[in-house]
Structure 1
Amino acid sequence: MLAIRLPEDLEKRLDNLAKRTGRTKTFYARQAIEQHLDDLEDLYLAEQRLTEIRAGRTRTVPLEDIMKRHGLED
């Protein structure tokens, strides 16, 4: 269970959308969170990898090597 307080303008927009489409505000809140959560997870993973590369704990692989490995050479 999750309860959140939204700014009044956002609450009105969400309420209007729900009324116009016949869906619940919960439906749209869940949908928005799911989509944004995917983006946040990708961002944090990318930042973590960058930190590991800069610290020398992991290496990068040149694109040419990846292309060759998967038979995608020109």
Structure 2
Amino acid sequence: MIAVSLPDELLKRLDDAVDKTGKKRSFLIRESISMYLNNIENIHEKKEIILNTSKPFYEVLIEEFKN
């Protein structure tokens, strides 16, 4: 278990999302953290691809946009 203090505005947004979705706070917090971490991992992977390639940068971009 982790305890986190949230600023009032963020807590209000969380409670609004709870009201709109009918989901529990803990579910929305877990999902938000999971989505955030997935995003960071994807960004890191893309940076690694760009850094570890001998291709010109524009070719890497073209390949990434095709996928």
TM-score strictly above 0.5: yes
The separation in 2 between residues aligned to 1:23 and 1:14, in whole angstroms, is 10
Percent identical pairs in the alignment equals: 29
Q: Secondary structure at the match of 2:11?
A: helix
| 1:30 equivalent in structure 2 | 30
Whichever structure has more helix as a proportion of its residues is 2
Where does structure 2 lack aligned partners over 5 or more consecutive residues? 60-67
TM-score by length of 1: 0.58
Structure 1 stretches of 4+ with a deviation exceeding 4 A read none
TM-score by length of 2: 0.62
Aligned length, in residue pairs: 59
Bigger-Rg structure (1/2): 1
